[in-house]
């Protein structure tokens, strides 16, 4: 007798995947709907399991049911069971689907002596709710999804998968310079502002080969002198010049801050399953998005979006736009991809503060609308400690 896991398909595919990884059945039966299949939810589950070496493409069956009809589900499933040549021992994951689908599946599969399981929201465990008077203790779900697996579970493909390791290696190779910029940001901000204004006017397509970059700037302090020297600028009086690469262009436009946050998460959240930087992804309709830092922790997706300002005073209009852009991106991720990550907007802008040094309430409230929060980097001297404390205190 083969083992078969029955999965009720809904927008939230993670519980289906985690339970399948735990039981590793020989066969999968999806109870789904026309709407879920239009969104390719069953396909996403199969593709994610295949990333873990569990290929069910030839060992599954889908039954489309009317979501709110007990009779329709029970009739179609009974018909399939009667016709199939296999004998199955069923385990039923009641977590997904609609409430009516769960009721119908429970009522039907109870007659087969099936095991029923349920995954509570935001918990890496499943409950076996029966027998009712003495249910077994919760069973831990030990598998943790990587960033690519998590995105695949939502039908999203990473467009630059082959570049992610390169981005990480580059961040490690220049982490000393990156930490220096962060630690001396106030002194360096006039220089970064000056460079950024000119770099933003250079189209990326011009960086296919080294670009002769020249600008005037009067150095004001030793940190500025060191940054120019470490970046390979040639300085003659107020004239500074460099043969600019695409990597330089991205780094000085704000990429240094993305790398600083990537390094901080890597060190500050060692229990994170996976951390990626610069992920570009698309859904099945080719909707595209690019994200600064993504990591998974306890099967929850976290996003860190970075915004560096050249000067210490960005202006209320600028930071207001930054928060709006941040919320727009989160809204697009929810609408286009079904993703609702826990999100952090990490910014060096001083205009987010009240005269008393607190983040302005309207920025805080707007970020909360999308499970987001603002990280005021000018008030966070040690990013590693910030993430250590945040994730050790249960604020996940």
274: helix, strand or coil: strand
Give the model confidence (pLDDT) of 43-72 as tens digits.
999 999 999 999 999 999 999 999 999 999
What pLDDT shows up at residue 394? 52
Q: Which of 82, 102, 84 is nearest to 93 (CA)?
A: 102
58: helix, strand or coil: coil
351: helix, strand or coil: helix
Give the model confidence (pLDDT) of 82-105 as tens digits.
999 889 999 999 999 999 999 999
Interatomic CA distance for residues 222 and 330, integer angstroms: 39
Interatomic CA distance for residues 234 and 78, integer angstroms: 77
Q: Which pLDDT band holds residue 309 (cuts at 50, 70, 90)?
A: low
Interatomic CA distance for residues 22 and 109, integer angstroms: 20
* pLDDT at residue 305 is higher than 50: yes
Contact at 8 Å (CB) between 321 and 361? no
- Which of left, alpha, beta for 340 (phi over 0: left; psi -120 to 50: alpha)? beta
Q: What is the DSSP letter of 271?
A: T
What pLDDT shows up at residue 320? 43
End-to-end CA distance of the chain: 42
What pLDDT shows up at residue 323? 75
Q: What is the DSSP letter of 206?
A: G
Instruction: Tell me the residue length of the chain.
Output: 396
Six token digits for residue 132? 């009712």
Q: Which pLDDT band holds residue 316 (cuts at 50, 70, 90)?
A: very low
Going by C-beta distance under 8 Å and a sequence separation of 6 or more, which residues neighbour residue 51? 148, 149, 152
* pLDDT at residue 129 is higher than 90: no
Contact at 8 Å (CB) between 356 and 317? no
Contact at 8 Å (CB) between 33 and 67? yes
Place of tokens 């027998």: 131
pTM > 0.75: yes or no:
yes
* pLDDT at residue 311 is higher than 50: no
Give the model confidence (pLDDT) of 357-370 as tens digits.
888 898 888 888 87
Q: Which of 343, 347, 395 is nearest to 370 (CA)?
A: 343
* pLDDT at residue 395 is higher than 60: no
Interatomic CA distance for residues 166 and 108, integer angstroms: 52
What pLDDT shows up at residue 138? 95
Cβ atoms within 10 Å of 169's Cβ, excluding its own? 9
Mean local confidence (pLDDT), 194-213: 93
DSSP E strands, the chain: 2-8, 27-32, 60-64, 88-93, 115-117, 125-126, 139-140, 157-158, 211-216, 234-236, 239-244, 274-282, 288-297, 300-307, 342-347, 372-376
Interatomic CA distance for residues 108 and 73, integer angstroms: 9
Give the model confidence (pLDDT) of 323-339 as tens digits.
777 888 888 888 878 88
Weakest-pLDDT range from 189-193, 235-239, 315-319, 354-358: 315-319
Six token digits for residue 111? 């007659």
* pLDDT at residue 321 is higher than 60: no
The more confidently predicted of residues 245 and 284 is: 245
Is the bond leading into 131 cis (omega within 30 degrees of zero)? yes
Radius of gyration of the chain measured on its C-alpha atoms: 26
What pLDDT shows up at residue 37? 96
Contact at 8 Å (CB) between 328 and 287? no
């Amino acid at each position: 007798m083969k083992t078969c896991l029955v999965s009720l398909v809904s927008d939230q595919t993670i519980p289906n995947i985690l339970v399948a990884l735990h039981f590793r059945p020989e066969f999968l039966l999806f109870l789904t709907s026309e709407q879920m299949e239009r969104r390719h939810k069953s396909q996403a589950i199969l593709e994610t399991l295949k990333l873990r070496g569990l290929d069910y493409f030839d060992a599954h069956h889908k039954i489309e049911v009317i979501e709110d009809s007990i009779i329709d589900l029970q009739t179609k499933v009974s018909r399939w069971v009667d016709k199939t040549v296999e004998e199955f021992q069923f385990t039923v994951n009641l977590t997904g689907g609609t409430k009516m689908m769960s009721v119908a599946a429970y009522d039907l599969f109870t007659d087969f002596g099936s095991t029923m399981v349920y995954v509570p929201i935001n918990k890496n465990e499943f409950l076996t709710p029966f027998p009712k008077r003495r249910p077994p203790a919760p069973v831990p779900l030990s598998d943790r999804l990587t960033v690519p697996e998590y995105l695949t579970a939502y039908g999203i493909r990473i467009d630059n998968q082959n570049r992610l390791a390169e981005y990480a290696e580059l961040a490690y190779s220049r982490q000393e310079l990156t930490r220096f910029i962060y630690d001396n940001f106030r002194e360096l901000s006039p220089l970064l502002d000056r460079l950024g204004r000119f770099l933003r006017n250079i189209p990326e397509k011009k960086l296919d080969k080294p670009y002769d970059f020249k600008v005037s700037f009067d150095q004001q302090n030793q940190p500025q002198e060191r940054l120019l020297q470490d970046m390979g600028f040639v300085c003659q009086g107020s004239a500074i010049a460099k043969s600019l690469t695409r990597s330089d262009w991205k780094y000085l436009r704000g990429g240094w801050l993305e790398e600083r946050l990537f390094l901080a998460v890597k060190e500050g959240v060692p229990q994170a399953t996976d951390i990626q930087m610069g992920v570009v992804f698309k859904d099945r309709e080719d909707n595209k998005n690019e994200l600064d830092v993504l990591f998974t922790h306890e099967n929850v997706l976290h996003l860190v979006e970075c915004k560096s300002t050249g000067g210490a005073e960005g202006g209320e209009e600028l930071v207001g736009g930054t928060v709006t852009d941040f919320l727009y991106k989160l809204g697009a991720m929810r609408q286009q991809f079904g993703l609702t990550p826990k999100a952090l907007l990490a910014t060096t802008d001083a205009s987010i503060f009240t005269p008393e040094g607190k983040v302005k309430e309207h920025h805080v409230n707007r970020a909360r609308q999308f499970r987001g929060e603002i990280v005021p980097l000018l008030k966070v001297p040690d990013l590693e400690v910030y993430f250590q404390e945040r994730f050790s205190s249960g604020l996940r």
